[in-house]
């Protein structure tokens, strides 16, 4: 069991806030239940809304390590779970032949060659092994980027917190890790995987929450600048753009504006820095110019 589980949902929210993560009640409830029930949690939402950050901050809140598996197309078991150190095994075989240790009975040699010292442990296997301290937070990030077949590798881990290695047998966690999976929903994940997880969809924040995030994460930003940025980003999200600005882009933008010694937004500065908050050239071109001024006027009116 995790020895440092927050005492309540309120306690978890306070501890997340102490790590500068603003979690609404629904998200805090889902994470709290995942900790209490020792169940994996699947976080979905648009890119940049803070899904990955949940796992990072949770590891700090729980006082444990973060083990991250970044998913990508073509990810397989040898990069996610384990693989054998074949060059070292080959050298060991040659050494055993040279010393006569190989002998006629190959059983002991095979057991030796597939021992722990020749096993390269990847993130999923690392997360199952405990050194006596608190179990780690295992982040399986952007699972939707991996192939569908990879989800099958995860089913045993997510249901029983174990993996099976054909040469040695089943390795089961003595203390289940805290498992956080994220998805940008570029494809639908399989129902079998979802059944093994608690689920929460993270929305883009509204003006009030985004302003709180800005003032918490970038305290050097002036109040007027923070209010105008929060309102302007809300305007951007209401526009018909290919890719809406995420919270991470908002924070990058505020940080850049502070670096430019800006105390408030102006159209010229917005046009010059749109590439920080928008990541698509067509979106930038559709907003730049007169439209920026119109959106800025509405943002300043909303912030007053």
Tokens encoding 23 = 């979690």
39 vs 49: CA distance, rounded Å: 22
Q: What is the DSSP letter of 241?
A: -
146 vs 71: CA distance, rounded Å: 5
The count of C-alpha atoms lying within 13 angstroms of the C-alpha of 185, restricted to the half-sphere facing its C-beta, is 15
Where would I find the H helices in 63-106? Answer: 77-80, 86-99
Entry pTM: 0.88
Question: What is the H or E stretch that residue 275 is in?
Answer: helix 267-277
Kindly give the confidence (pLDDT) of every residue in the chain, 304 residues in length, as a single tens digit, with 9 standing for 90 and above: 455 689 999 999 999 999 999 999 999 999 999 999 999 999 999 999 999 999 999 999 999 999 999 999 999 888 999 898 888 878 888 877 777 666 555 556 667 777 788 888 999 999 998 777 789 999 999 999 999 889 988 998 999 999 888 888 888 998 899 999 999 999 999 999 999 999 999 999 999 999 999 999 999 999 999 999 999 999 999 998 999 999 999 999 999 999 999 999 999 999 999 999 999 999 999 999 899 999 999 998 875 5
22 vs 42: CA distance, rounded Å: 18
């Amino acid at each position: 069991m995790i020895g440092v589980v927050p005492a309540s949902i309120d306690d978890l929210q306070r501890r997340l806030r102490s790590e500068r993560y603003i979690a609404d009640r629904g998200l805090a409830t889902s994470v709290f239940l995942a900790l209490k029930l020792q169940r994996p949690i699947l976080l979905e939402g648009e890119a940049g809304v803070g899904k990955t950050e949940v796992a990072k901050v949770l590891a700090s809140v729980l006082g444990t390590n973060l083990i991250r598996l970044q998913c990508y197309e073509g990810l397989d078991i040898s990069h996610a779970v384990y693989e054998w150190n074949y060059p070292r095994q080959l050298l060991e075989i040659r050494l055993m032949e040279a010393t006569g240790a190989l002998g006629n009975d190959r059983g002991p040699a095979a057991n030796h060659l597939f021992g722990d010292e020749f096993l390269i442990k990847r993130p999923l296997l690392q997360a199952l092994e405990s050194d006596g301290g608190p179990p780690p937070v295992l982040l399986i990030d952007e699972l939707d980027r991996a192939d569908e077949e990879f989800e099958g590798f995860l089913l045993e881990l997510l249901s029983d917190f174990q993996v099976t290695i054909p040469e040695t047998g089943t390795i089961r966690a003595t203390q289940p890790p805290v498992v956080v999976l994220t998805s940008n929903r570029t494809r639908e994940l399989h129902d079998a995987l979802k059944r093994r997880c608690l689920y929460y969809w993270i929305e883009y924040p509204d003006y009030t929450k985004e302003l709180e995030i800005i003032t918490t994460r970038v305290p050097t930003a002036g109040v007027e600048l923070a209010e105008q940025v929060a309102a302007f980003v809300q305007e951007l999200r209401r526009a018909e753009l290919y890719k809406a600005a995420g919270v991470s882009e908002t924070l990058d933008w505020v940080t850049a504006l502070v670096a430019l010694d800006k105390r408030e937004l102006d159209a010229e500065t917005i046009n010059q820095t749109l590439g920080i908050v928008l990541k698509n050239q067509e979106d930038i071109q559709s907003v730049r110019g007169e439209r920026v001024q119109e959106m800025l006027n509405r943002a300043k009116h909303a912030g007053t």
